[in-house]
Chains A and B, each alone.
Chain A
Amino acid sequence: MATAEKETVIYAKINEEVIQSLERPTWRYWLLIGSLLGVIGLGALAYFYQVMVGMGVANINHPVGWGVYIVNFVFWVGIAHSGTLISAILYLFRVRWRTAIYRAAEAMTVFAVMTAGLFPLIHLGRVWVMYWLLPYPNTRHLWPNFKSPLVWDVVAVTTYFTVSFLFFYLGLIPDIAAVRDRSTGLRRQIYGALALGWQNRYEQWRHYARAYVALACLATPLVISVHSVVSWDFAMSILPGWHTTIFPPYFVAGAIHSGLAMVITLLVPIRVWLRLQRLVTLEHFENMAKMLIFTGLIMTYSYATEAFTSYYSGNHFETSFSTWRATGTYAPLFWGMVVCNCLAPMLLFWKRVRTSIPWLLAISIAINIGMWLERFVLIVTSTAHDFLPSSWGTYTPSPVEIIITIASFAWFAFLFLLFAKHLPAVAISEMKEQVAE
Chain B
Amino acid sequence: MHLHSLVLKDISRRKTKLLVAVLGVVVAFAAMVAVVTTFSAATDSLYEESNNFGANIIVRPEVKTIPLVAGSTSMGSLFTGENYIEESDIPRIHTIMDSSKLSAVAPRLYGVAELGDSSVVIMGVDPEEERKLKSWWKVQGSWISSENTGQTEVMVGSDIATPLGLTEGSLITLHNGNISMDARVTGVIESTGSNEDAYVILPLSDSQDLLNREGKVSSLEVRALCNECPVEEISMQIEDKFPGLEARSMSQIVRNELAIIEHTRSSAMAVSIITLLVSTLTVASTMLASVNEKFKEIGIMRAVGASDVQVVSMLFFEGAIIGAVGGIIGFAAGTIASTISAPLLVQVPPSPMWSILLPVTGICIFTGMLASILPAKRALGVDPAEVLRSV
A and B interact: no
